[in-house]
Structure 1
């Protein structure tokens, strides 16, 4: 299934895509795509529905974050050896874990705000793991049992704040709109191998990132197990698994985002996002 939330910010309704790509309204079935709706049992109930029996939404409404209830937005740093090399960093011996602000979350077509005074805002297309059940100290063998599905993410980063302004990476990672997710949550039954997915990003029509999740240093099972040793994950929590090479920071000469540009990025089978970059006073 491809599950989503549509409507104005703060007033999104749950929905699913039918076989023709039309949005079908789920608000008569569930309150939201959160909590128990993301569990194995909750997803099975939704999968048993006939989409044709649900109201069809006409037009092209805004898509929001495709699920709700996120408590932890976990990111993994330097999880592709070739990305570590392009940034001049050593390959980590264990996953690098940091938390991204929940206020960074935004929908798959919302504008991305280049922070005032920023000259080093960068992109990082990533596979996002969406947790479906309470997850504490699980083994790698059990890890996928706790996954609701996957989504496209981007760990947008302001490199000056991340690297040069003191303290942890979080400073450069948590600006508003720096965590777009979507366009939908693809349930794990449609992703038989999360370590075989092509990833891309285009900036103003020019290909910048072109990678595959098979080159991750630490795979999906490992990351879920590893993170769950340190804190409990809940339904709707996200683990963004790191980015392949091609970020602006690693290019020669370096290239960063400015207002008025278009980002298009996606992952095979999981959909695409497209954003304008804008400035604010």
Structure 2
């Protein structure tokens, strides 16, 4: 679904991501891990067009120009951020509706000339938004203001919004950050159920090892902007370079 080759991101004289390549297959869940400052979020930003980058990107076999957020989103690549991006003054249902990438019968002309058809289409949109809230376990919060939600609920509301957008590939930047154990397990169940229901391919940036091992088919490890390992979770954790990156070299005095 998503193939990136030789991605490089520079900030002045600093190379934050250095010729990283990755592939995420259809319905696959891939973890992107590494110590703080290794370039994980920067790579996600590059793939979604938020920062200038060098290299090449293909989505479902189609070349996509880097540095253009609209280009990747139109091909079904969506993302979430480290901090939940919700609008506190809107209801949960209204927040979910923001993720609906559909403009059919939403013009002023439709309101005047095709009012009945517009109202039917609008009811359908609201019904789908309610279904997205049900998926995220927030069906009873549809009329509540997002500003009144707990942190874990705000995470799930953001997930409901991207669920409604029907992504083919979804990039999640530390989705379990700040969640307690119960909330983390709830998120695991949501993502598993989505995957099992013909959901999108997922690329996860995360630090929680248990969370990653429950979900990921493969993991990719970055250190100082470079890829140092890739493979199945057990294979990756056994790699000395990964242990070195996380724990540092062990020096034993003779």
Common fold by TM > 0.5: no
Q: TM-score, normalised by structure 1?
A: 0.21
Q: Which has the higher helix share?
A: 2
More strand by proportion, 1 or 2? 1
Q: Larger radius of gyration, structure 1 or 2?
A: 2
